[in-house]
């Protein structure tokens, strides 16, 4: 059974880091305040059959909508899963073709990789892998017509040193209307995300919050 901790060092560290990044990119979308009690569940790095398919099953069972920031090469390898995401009413968005870190790429290479992914994904919403993007790259991406979406709640589901209990607490203890929750449909996150997601969806409903896609502002 997963229990929610009241506080913790991991949770505090997460929000210290997020606060610093938000100070740097203060004019970007970190949350979407609204009066309709909507929250935005997002998944990065898929589609991966072993993870994305069970996630879709859980979302369908709970009648929850989400946004999937797909990696182009994974979309290329699994077009059927990409199509299922769309068919079931979820939103797809761009996470580069090769999961590039902006800090290790030139602006030209970075934008080219995004555009290559968008030939398959076809979305004007983008999230930088690792959240790593330079101010110059950010300007290039926005000039190309992309809306850059960050997050205000990081689950850390990908971190093997983070238990399912800690992962759930990272999200559940900070939920509020307008929150953008970052989770992953990747192999590294498989254990945590598949363990935590059903309970998290129940908690979200108990709090009277509604699921929405990022484009449902």
Q: What is the pLDDT of residue 29?
A: 57
- Known catalytic membership, residue 82: no
Residue 30: pLDDT band with limits 50, 70, 90: low
Checking if the pLDDT of 140 tops 90, the result is yes
The torsion angles phi and psi of 162, rounded to 5 degrees, stand at -100, 125
Checking if the pLDDT of 207 tops 80, the result is yes
Q: Is it true that the peptide bond before 47 is cis, omega within 30 degrees of 0?
A: yes
**Contact between 5 and 166 (Cβ < 8 Å):** yes
**Token digits for 210?**
């509604």
State CA 99 to chain mean position distance.
Answer: 13
Checking if the pLDDT of 138 tops 60, the result is yes
**Contact between 89 and 117 (Cβ < 8 Å):** no
Length of the chain: 217
Average pLDDT, integer, range 13-35: 53
Average pLDDT, integer, range 145-155: 94
Lowest mean pLDDT among 3-7, 81-85, 132-136: 3-7
Please indicate, yes or no, whether the overall pTM of this predicted structure exceeds 0.85. yes
Cβ-Cβ contacts under 8 Å for 128 (sequence gap 6 or more) = 96, 102, 137, 141, 148
Mean pLDDT of the chain: 89
**Contact between 67 and 93 (Cβ < 8 Å):** yes
Name the catalytic one among 44, 45, 152, 157. 44
- Known catalytic membership, residue 90: no
Q: What is the pLDDT of residue 32?
A: 63
Name the catalytic one among 78, 90, 95, 184. 184
What domains appear along the chain, each with residue ranges and CATH number?
A: 28-211 (3.20.20.370)
The predicted-structure confidence for 76-117, as pLDDT tens digits, reads as follows: 999 999 999 999 999 999 999 999 999 999 999 999 999 999
Average pLDDT, integer, range 159-178: 95
Lowest mean pLDDT among 11-20, 54-63, 101-110: 11-20
Average pLDDT, integer, range 178-189: 96
Instruction: Provide the 10 A C-beta neighbour count for residue 210.
Output: 15
């Amino acid at each position: 059974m997963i229990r929610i901790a009241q506080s913790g060092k991991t949770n505090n560290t997460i929000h210290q880091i997020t606060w610093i990044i938000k100070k740097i990119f203060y004019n970007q979308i970190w949350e979407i305040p609204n009066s309709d009690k909507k929250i935005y569940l997002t998944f990065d790095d898929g589609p991966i059959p072993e993870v994305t398919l069970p996630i879709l099953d859980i979302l369908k069972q709970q009648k929850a909508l989400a946004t999937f920031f797909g990696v182009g090469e994974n979309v290329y390898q699994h077009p059927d899963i990409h199509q299922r995401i769309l068919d079931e009413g979820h939103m797809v968005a761009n996470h580069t073709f090769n999961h590039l870190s902006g800090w290790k790429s030139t602006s030209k290479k970075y934008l080219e990789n995004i555009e290559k992914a968008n030939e398959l994904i076809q979305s004007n919403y983008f999230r930088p892998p690792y959240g790593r993007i330079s101010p110059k790259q950010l300007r290039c991406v926005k000039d190309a017509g992309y809306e850059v979406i960050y997050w205000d709640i990081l689950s850390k589901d990908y971190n093997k040193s983070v238990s399912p209990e800690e992962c759930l607490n990272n999200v559940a203890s900070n939920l509020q209307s307008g929150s953008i929750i970052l989770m992953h449909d990747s192999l590294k996150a498989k254990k945590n995300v598949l363990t935590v997601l059903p309970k998290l969806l129940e908690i979200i409903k108990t709090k009277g919050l509604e699921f929405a896609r990022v484009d449902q502002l």
